[in-house]
Structure 1
Amino acid sequence: MYRISKEFHFSASHQLAHLPQGHQCARLHGHNYVVVVELASARLNEDGFVRDYHELAELKAYIDEEFDHRHLNDVLEGPSTAENMARHFHDWAQARWPEVAAVRVSETPKTWAEYRP
């Protein structure tokens, strides 16, 4: 199996108001997010790629337009957790590129959430 990945960055605020009072994530706060999309294929295309990285520019445009410097509670359905974002970006990307195997979202350099069906 061949695997490729590409990383994207954006900054946004969110609030997990459903958490108990005093929980740090219940307060309005922000992160510098990292999104990594992974594509996999048993075969390479005629150009020798799983998929041309240039094609993934559509995901960058989507992130820049809809997520960068936004309040994620206004953008996403459900809690604006890294787990929900990973699923959201996975579903969005796989609708365009069937080779999408997983998406990881990081809120900090030490934490990651991944959606892999």
Structure 2
Amino acid sequence: MFRISKEFHFSASHQLTHLPDDHQCARLHGHNYIVVVELASATLNDDGFVRDYHELKPLKTYIDDTFDHRHLNDVMEGHSTAENMARHFFDWCKARWPETSAVKVSETPKTWAEFRP
């Protein structure tokens, strides 16, 4: 299996209002997010790629236009956790690139959430 991945960055605020008031994530705060999309295929195309990285530019545009420097509670349905964001970006990517195999989202340098069916 061949696997490729590409990393995207954005900054945004959010608030997990369903958590107890004394939980740090219940307060308004922000992160510098990293999103990594992974694509996998047993075969390569005629150019020797799983998919040309340039074809992933629509994800950058989507992130920049919809998420960057936004309040995630205003742009996402449900809780704006890294886990839910990973699933959201996976579904968005899979609808465009069938080779999508996983998406990871980081809120901090030490934390990652991944959605991989």
**One fold, TM greater than 0.5?**
yes
In the alignment, which residue of structure 1 is the partner of 2:46?
A: 46
In structure 2, distance between residues paired with 1:92 and 1:17: 25
Q: Normalization by structure 1: what TM-score?
A: 1.00
Q: What's the C-alpha RMSD, in Å, of the aligned pairs?
A: 0.3
Query: Structure 1: any 5+ residue segments left out of the alignment?
Result: none
SS of the residue corresponding to residue 5 of structure 1 reads: strand
Give the total of aligned pairs. Answer: 117
Please say if 1:108 is aligned against 2:108.
yes
In the alignment, which residue of structure 2 is the partner of 1:62?
A: 62
Deviation at 1:102, TM superposition (A): 0.2
In structure 1, distance between residues paired with 2:2 and 2:19: 40
In structure 2, distance between residues paired with 1:36 and 1:58: 14
Matches for 1:62-81 after TM superposition, within 5 Å: 62-81=62-81
- The letter of the residue matching 2:97 is W
Deviation at 1:21, TM superposition (A): 1.2
Query: Structure 2: any 5+ residue segments left out of the alignment?
Result: none
Runs of 4+ in 1 over 6 A off after TM superposition: none
- The letter of the residue matching 2:107 is E
In structure 2, distance between residues paired with 1:43 and 1:77: 36
Q: Normalization by structure 2: what TM-score?
A: 1.00
